[in-house]
Amino acid sequence: MIDPKTFLNAFNSANEGQYYSIDDLDPIVCGRSGIYLEPIAPDFATTDNIINTVPILFKASINVQKYLPSLDFSSKESLEQFSRVTMLRTTTGLQFTYAIYMNGIIVGMIFVNTPAFNKTSMGLNEWSLDFFVFAPFEGQGIMRIALPRMMMFLQKNIGVDTFYLLIDEGNERCIDLIMTFPFDEIDNSRFKNKEDLSRPPRVFECLLSTIRFS
């Protein structure tokens, strides 16, 4: 992960509130599906449910490791480091992260990257999202339910009108999913892949301001 001190040198707590307030980050219930989203809290890496399940799920999720190589949930210590960095980014207004749960079990995450985060990490003053579902839960339609709810939350609660997805061209499962949503693939020349500068990502744009959620 990016060194937290890099961001501390460039930003301070005044950024919290520029794009969102901590109070804006409410849990998101996805109807009666049993799926819900919760923002990562300071005690994330201290609960037995997380400590005992996430490292096992992560080690079984080869694609998560491949396409999001900066993530490491392989041990209790790495979970604690992730929690510290996540809290730092959230409280400095750079990025907030929601865990996806299904019937009480964590199944994935959605990372919401603010323009301040993207400007620092890849020189782009735009909103973007990253997300994943752990391998044992793939193919169950989880992201087809969770992603639209997050999109509605961003539009109505945070005031986001446009965001982008940067997807490795080899991540066919993710691309197939995105093609079922109102995203347009756009020219990627101004986007730099945060994880692999040798291969430009495919870039998809979502104009939230044009979508009417019920």
Domains and CATH numbers, the chain: 4-210 (3.40.630.30)
Structure confidence at residue 86 (pLDDT): 95
| pLDDT tens digits, 172-203 | 999 999 999 999 999 887 776 555 556 778 99
Query: For residue 27, which of 19, 36, 18 has the smallest C-alpha distance?
Result: 36
Question: Is the pLDDT score of 156 beyond 60?
Answer: yes
Q: Can you tell me whether residue 206 is helix, strand or coil?
A: strand
Distance, CA of 14 to CA of 34 (rounded, Å): 36
Q: Which residue has the tokens 């109807």?
A: 31
Question: Is the pLDDT score of 5 beyond 70?
Answer: no
Could you tell me the two tokens for 110?
């959605």
Could you tell me the two tokens for 142?
């989880």
Structure confidence at residue 196 (pLDDT): 53
Residue 93 C-alpha from the chain's centroid: 14
- Amino acid sitting at position 116: A
| pLDDT tens digits, 116-154 | 999 888 778 899 999 999 999 999 999 999 999 999 999
Cα distances (angstroms) measured from residue 82 to each of 75, 110, 155? 11, 14, 27
End-to-end CA, the chain: 37
The runs of H, that is alpha helices, within 1-114 are 4-10, 48-59, 62-67, 76-91
